[in-house]
Amino acid sequence: MFMIGLLEGLGLLMMSDNEFNRRYNGGTAPQEGQFPWQRQQQQGRQFPWQQPNPARTQSAPQNRTWKNVEVPDYSNSRRNIFKESALRKYKEFDLDGAIEDFQKSLQQEPRDIATHFNIACAYSLTEQGEKAYTHLSKAVEAGFTDFEKINAHDDLAYVRIQPQWDAFKDSGYRRFEPFKKDPFETPKPEPQNDLLLDQLNKLNELRQKGLISDAEYALEKRRLNE
């Protein structure tokens, strides 16, 4: 019996595919897609190793897309509204208001060159020489190098006629002698309201006709209001 089984096994191994199909598969070989694993693929099934891992493929919630994320708008984060307001008031000759806003602007940007220079001009027009010198020196310390503008700017005319000017200029516009008030200076009497209004109107008329500059107008207006 052992020999018979051995001979039959050898016969199966040596049998051709066609002979094997003729004897045991009714004479036809299995066509593509007839094996169980092929039929499962055709039916859209997946084997365990082909199925995705939920832990890896879990999609994010729909409300987490970029278009729904609120991104802070930093485009105007560095906008200095006090600086803008001060420049506007300065052009309108509201010098007291401009100085106040320039000071607030410097609280946000302590080393802003333009603000230090502009407030120095405003202090010069209001005849506050020591404060004008202070901010000119701070502008230079912050990097201001247009010294010709300091020497020629109309609004700094009051600064340049002070006795401290030469020493201030020689120091590279960085140091100056403190201003001293005249102890014998008497306050000017305030003009009557009607007289003051008349003088301001005449002053404005001169400016509109071009007989005086804007800087001269602001300076004279300040003197009348003192």
pLDDT at 226: 64
**Model pTM?**
0.50
pLDDT at 212: 80
Residue written as token pair 């096994």: 9
Distance in angstroms (rounded) separating the CA atoms of residues 22 and 175: 115
pLDDT at 70: 44
Which pair of tokens denotes residue 153? 């700017």
pLDDT at 55: 53
Low-confidence ranges of the chain (pLDDT < 50): 32-33, 60-77, 183-185, 191-192
pLDDT at 74: 40
Distance in angstroms (rounded) separating the CA atoms of residues 136 and 171: 12
Which residues belong to CATH 1.25.40.10 in the chain?
A: 81-170
Which pair of tokens denotes residue 184? 């014998």
Residue 97 amino acid letter = G
pLDDT tens figures, 190-205:
544 567 667 777 877 8
How far, in Å, are 46, 50, 69, 147 from residue 59 at the CA level? 20, 18, 17, 64
Report the phi/psi class of residue 14: left, alpha or beta, with left for phi > 0 and alpha for psi in -120 to 50: alpha
pLDDT at 180: 75
Residue written as token pair 């004279």: 220
pLDDT at 179: 81
Q: Which CATH number fits domain 81-170: 3.20.20.30, 3.10.20.600, 1.25.40.10, 1.10.3720.10?
A: 1.25.40.10
Residue 94 amino acid letter = D
